[in-house]
Amino acid sequence: VQLQASGGGLVQAGGSLRLSCAGPRGTLSLYDAGWFRQAPGKEREFVAAISRNGGFTIYADAVKGRFTISRDNAKNTLYLQMNSLQPEDTAVYYCAVDRRVSSWYGPYGAWGQGTLVTVSS
């Protein structure tokens, strides 16, 4: 399963970014999906997850109310809208999918390559 994440960049604190993750052609609807991030010197951490049909979402406390995970299965794309970004959100963001996760926090069977988000103060 190939995933392609994009949309990262440099943004000032308080700004917004939208990450995208292109999923396996024609089959993204078969996968639960999530976003994770890894800050410099830290372990990878869960950010958000969404069920296959988009009917269920879950967020880490650190991003709840600021980030929104969504998906467009017709376009085979997963999104992460990030608002009110703070310097502590600086990290490489990864998308991940799995046919059926045992836990929304992982493990996931397939991962994208990551996209860097840098938030300046």
- The predicted-structure confidence for 29-87, as pLDDT tens digits, reads as follows 999 999 999 999 999 999 999 999 999 999 999 999 999 999 999 999 999 999 999 99
SS3 for 100? coil
Give the Cα separation of 46 and 70 in Å (integer): 15
Assess whether pLDDT exceeds 90 at residue 24: no
What pLDDT sits at residue 50?
Answer: 98
Q: What confidence tier does 119 reach under pLDDT thresholds 50, 70, 90? A: very high
- Contact (Cβ atoms closer than 8 angstroms) between residue 20 and residue 76: no
Assess whether pLDDT exceeds 90 at residue 26: no
β-strand partners of 18? 81
- Contact (Cβ atoms closer than 8 angstroms) between residue 117 and residue 82: yes
